[in-house]
A and B are shown apart, each in its own frame.
Chain A
Amino acid sequence: EDQVTQSPEALRLQEGESSSLNCSYTVSGLRGLFWYRQDPGKGPEFLFTLYSAGEEKEKERLKATLTKKESFLHITAPKPEDSATYLCAVPMRFGAGTRLTVKP
């Protein structure tokens, strides 16, 4: 059975303090690793799709990387508006998310 585990569960950063979110996955065959951002009371917003180990994608202050067992979401110089829950998923199976809070 496919599994996705995210850590940490919650992360508090000061504005400008860079960090990384971890997503460990176990799948029978990788058909995509997805990162989403979810704000309270809203549906997830698509960020990235990664398909193969070594692949990297960037969007503004976010960068996603992929290995054969893990994916990382790196946040560089975060701002308060980056505060949200970040979800990692393989097709149809989501991790529990990392709740990120960025303090000004």
Chain B
Amino acid sequence: GAVVSQHPSWVICKSGTSVKIECRSLDFQATTMFWYRQFPKQSLMLMATSNEGSKATYEQGVEKDKFLINHASLTLSTLTVTSAHPEDSSFYICSATPSVGGRIDTQYFGPGTRLTVL
């Protein structure tokens, strides 16, 4: 149980294009999903918290107009990197939590998406 999928697993794009990454909770409903990015040999940095049916909450320093997050259903959240540039190249990981009663329960992570911007 508690499986989270991401698609695509890797993507290469040209500078200036937009890329959409999907995150799905396969066997549970996730009212809250999180998006992280991870640079080589570094830990996960939280980008934003996404709640179903409402606007995402972005961490300080993360451009909300560049990283568009949509959480349209209890099993799907998407991250769109708009007008991507080489510095956006990174490993993007989503997680989902079957949060209950306001307690932040265990996060279950997707396998990650490797974005390379040429």
CB of A72 within 8 Å of the partner chain: no
Check if B46 sits within 8 Å of A93, measured CB to CB: yes
Question: In residues 57-92 of chain A, which contact B (Cβ within 8 Å)?
Answer: 87, 91-92
Number of interface residues of B (CB under 8 A): 24
Label chain B's interface by main secondary structure.
Answer: strand
CB-CB nearest in chain B for A90:
B104
CB-CB nearest in chain A for B106:
A49
Check if A46 sits within 8 Å of B106, measured CB to CB: yes
Task: From B34, B44, B95, B111, name the one whose CB has the most chain A CB atoms within 10 angstroms.
Answer: B44
Check if A96 sits within 8 Å of B106, measured CB to CB: no
Check if B109 sits within 8 Å of A36, measured CB to CB: yes
CB-CB nearest in chain A for B91:
A41
Complex partner residue of B114 from A41, A49, A87, A95, CB under 8 angstroms: A41
Contact mask for chain A residues 27-60; partner B; CB cutoff 8 A; 1 contact, 0 none: 0000110101000011111100100000000000
Q: Please, which residues of chain A bring their CB within 8 A of the CB of B34?
A: 92
- Which residues of B are at the interface with A, using a C-beta cutoff of 8 A? 2, 4, 6, 34, 42-46, 49, 91, 93, 95, 103-112, 114
- Which residues of A are at the interface with B, using a C-beta cutoff of 8 A? 31-32, 34, 36, 41-46, 49, 87, 91-97
The 7 closest A-B pairs by CB, nearest first: A43-B109, A91-B104, A96-B43, A94-B43, A94-B44, A43-B112, A44-B109
